[in-house]
Structure 1
């Protein structure tokens, strides 16, 4: 972005609300050109606001630039930010729209004495915040980023629904088939606890007694049919299932059918969510095409990340130029730790901040988890951190490895370099 002459700039502040927006416009000397006008937060209101700003620019020829600031208040400001940033009437004035952090604006407001808390005053404070050059973020990124971001954030919503449904399912499985639910991963007869064969065992056999009383040949045939022959030792699996059924708690017969219906319903929900997840992934890959191709290619070059995680990271970062260093990027996604020291005391447990962008944090951590499986250097670092403590081993090691991943990610994006083993080190 070229350097802006603030003496020739119109500063516009918009206080966003669900139904109405209040706008103020001032020049560098704090002279009002629009004084605390209220417009509807709707298409007609956006057009009216655009005309108000355009009228000021037409009548006062000293203005060559326009800076518009509004607080980032959820989704209420999305439409107006998108509308003004793409306005053809305001485009000749190098118009930049900024979605500001409400905390920064609130702290700036404290520098004024005896200001009331009203929407009208807040619109002036936002405009003055821009006037004094306090804005350090990049302008609104526009519709294409918003479209990709809607998809990548919906993907997180779907994965959270799947995780929640699996947890709920396991509660019912424990009630019906307690020993089956308590089997650890290395003891479990099925590699996928939520696969078709596990579903069949839990829903086709109404009670544990039905499973115990089934003949070995019948059960082996059932397992082969439901798994399509993918289980290498069906006889051992049948024996393990019957042993688990014998050792499980017995229930009143009236409970088995409701539990079986609930379990079947949860499996159906998980299947539907997984189907939607595939559709969302396909839509993400379509939306990311042509959007920041260099940075997307750089992220995608890191082993194990894949195209969907690359798109998720890119949708939340936008451009690496928004961040001064890797520390700023780590702080933005909340993968930082607050110091907890006093004198000679140094706390062993320092919780992660998690105060940043939770969507970016999700994609960074998921990408790191995948990179660990594909990069020996990251696997060794994870194992080292895992062995350092006896509690919260996986979470701690994964978080610390994610911080290491952020350093590498920032370095590659900042230099527009593709991943290579030597450069990563």
Structure 2
């Protein structure tokens, strides 16, 4: 699996600033500029089609809560290397180089410079089946969001006609969620015959179908990075904030929100039913750690265990004392 872009000498860097409705493009060779709608049709026809014939090219964008998915999928379908950078790292890089102004065009240029100067990791290429599974997992997250929004509206509505319409909508989203859950479980079982990672993940107490599916779809780097790298990628690593005599409290920032959300729920379950996470969490609480702080640490612990298990190809064993270190 290609992950480290620094191992390849790229000659051309395309920085892309992604928003919900548009993307801004900066080309290190000046051949592409301006903006495009952030739609499949626009990116496929007006960006990917023009880059497919180019050699030694790297496209760089930031993680923007999912708005970057269209760009990344299009690049992969076109066989183009792409990096999804942590936006905080890009912003810190910009400040370090004295770039304080912020516009979409400036951001695109800085993103291109970041990709050129920093040792970055490629977003792993996905097969057609993997992209289809990823779309299914992401759709589940979208349906959950819409379902919760309708439930909130129902709780704030008195009008009988409006309530009836909302209840119909809730029923629709529940049915779609049930269909997605069935399909995801089926696809996971099929993939498990060829990918040992799935049974390894599902062997861990606290890690159920949704967590496994999200990790497989949204975190293909699992097992290919070291502990620190995978924690930063997900956004559960405490980052230092020190300057002179000032040493502020370390906080976990950034990362992949979809993965972090399911990891949070899995960790809540693990603090009750996973013996290693349960002891680890209880030990932190006994030392006076706040529950929120202890839970984030437990999330990082669980992620580290999963990463090690996948890398080593070993399923869960409660007797394995190395996991409790």
Q: TM-score, normalised by structure 1?
A: 0.56
Distance 2:125 2:211 in 1: 20
Of 136, 143, 148, which residue of structure 1 is paired with 2:120?
Answer: 136
Looking at CA atoms only, which structure, 1 or 2, has the larger radius of gyration? Answer: 1
User: Is the Cα contact below 8 Å between 2:200 and 2:309 reproduced in 1?
Assistant: yes
**Alignment partner, residue 367 of structure 1:** 266
Q: TM-score, normalised by structure 2?
A: 0.70
Deviation at 1:281, TM superposition (A): 1.9
CA spacing shift, 1:24–1:360, aligned 2, 3 Å: closer
Of 18, 25, 29, which residue of structure 1 is paired with 2:27?
Answer: 25
Is it true that 1:415 corresponds to 2:307 in the alignment? Answer: no
CA spacing shift, 1:107–1:293, aligned 2, 3 Å: same
CA spacing shift, 1:271–1:379, aligned 2, 3 Å: farther
1:10-409 superposed matches below 5 A:
10-17=12-19, 20-26=22-28, 32=29, 34=31, 36-42=33-39, 43-44=41-42, 46-54=44-52, 57=54, 64-87=55-78, 91=79, 95-110=80-95, 117-132=102-117, 134-139=118-123, 141-142=125-126, 143-144=131-132, 146-154=134-142, 157=145, 277-288=177-188, 289-290=190-191, 293-321=195-223, 323-325=225-227, 327-336=228-237, 353=252, 355-386=254-285, 389=288, 398-409=295-306
**Alignment partner, residue 211 of structure 1:** none
Deviates more, 1:329-338 or 1:314-323: 329-338
Distance 1:281 1:159 in 2: 14
CA shift digits 1:247-302 (9 cap, x unpaired):
xxxxxxxxxxx8xxx99999999887765543332232245443882322211111
Distance 2:37 2:264 in 1: 40
Deviation at 1:147, TM superposition (A): 1.0
**Alignment partner, residue 196 of structure 1:** none
Distance 1:264 1:140 in 2: 45
- The runs of 5 or more residues in structure 1 that have no matched partner are 27-31, 58-63, 170-257
CA spacing shift, 1:283–1:37, aligned 2, 3 Å: same
Q: RMSD of aligned C-alpha atoms?
A: 4.8
Distance 1:415 1:376 in 2: 21
CA spacing shift, 1:355–1:131, aligned 2, 3 Å: closer
- Number of residues paired by the alignment? 312
- The runs of 5 or more residues in structure 2 that have no matched partner are none
User: Is the Cα contact below 8 Å between 1:19 and 1:41 reproduced in 2?
Assistant: yes
Q: Secondary structure at the match of 1:305?
A: coil
CA shift digits 1:326-356 (9 cap, x unpaired):
x443344444557899xxxx99xx7964644
Q: Secondary structure at the match of 2:319?
A: helix
User: Is the Cα contact below 8 Å between 2:240 and 2:250 reproduced in 1?
Assistant: no
CA spacing shift, 1:366–1:156, aligned 2, 3 Å: farther
